[in-house]
Amino acid sequence: MPEWIWFILLFFSLLFAAKLIFVVFTGWSIPVTRGALFVPTHRLRIDAALDAVPMQAGDRFLDLGCGDGRVLRAARKRYGVLARGIDVNPLACLAARLRNLGDRDVRIHRTDFWSHDTGDADVVFCYLFPDLMDRMSRKLEKELAPGTRVVSCNFPLPGWRPEAVLHPDSSAHGDPIFLYRCGPPASRGLRGR
């Protein structure tokens, strides 16, 4: 058999194996993510969100569902923040760790963000499935300190009043980015308050 055929067979075998690994790890994380898949955040959306929430060096930036860590890296590089990412998918965590390799101020935790305390964050970033947002709004209401800023891509936090809603200049990536600031519990505008 010609050598080029072996090369093509090897290439497609590796591609199939990589896809199979992705499917297995995605299937493993579905009970926690409730079907949400890792979707990389486009650079235009990351830039728009980070432009809207300026930070100081040393601020604590938390990405819930950090995927491959590109938002963490961008925030760290731009502002010098202490960046922490949470993701349940082992493959996404591996990608995030590789993307941020060597930066001691970026931490990736492979855990369920529902069990992770968000209370020490200065800025929380999330790009989650819409059916998770109601529960997430209650979690953040309970845990975040007044003044904490929250960025939510595509989907609003039910019961919260955004300070601003951004629409990046792009037909492909112009979905809304909601910006919130945690106020004192009585003024958050949340259910039952």
Q: How does pLDDT run across 29-62, given as a tens digit for each residue? A: 666 555 556 677 889 999 999 999 999 999 999 9
SS3 at position 125: strand
Write out the E strands in the chain: 60-64, 82-87, 106-110, 123-126, 149-153, 164-166, 177-181
Q: How many domains does the chain have?
A: 1
CATH number for the domain that contains residue 113: 3.40.50.150
Domain contains 14: no
Domain contains 67: yes
Q: Of the ranges 22-36, 92-106, 123-137, 154-168, which one carries the lowest mean pLDDT score? A: 22-36
Band of residue 131 on the pLDDT scale cut at 50, 70, 90: confident
Burial class (CB within 10 angstroms; exposed 0-12, middle 13-18, buried 19+) of 107: middle
Residue that wins the pLDDT comparison between 49 and 184? 49
Domain contains 152: yes
DSSP 8-state symbol, 109: E
Domain contains 4: no
pLDDT greater than 80 at residue 24? no
Domain contains 173: yes
What Rg, from alpha-carbon coordinates, does the chain have?
19
pTM: 0.79
Domain contains 19: no
Domain contains 166: yes
Q: Do 123 and 148 touch, CB atoms closer than 8 A?
A: yes
The pLDDT of residue 11: 82
Domain contains 174: yes
Distance CA 109, CA 34 (A): 19
pLDDT greater than 60 at residue 152? yes
Distance CA 99, CA 84 (A): 13
Band of residue 192 on the pLDDT scale cut at 50, 70, 90: very low
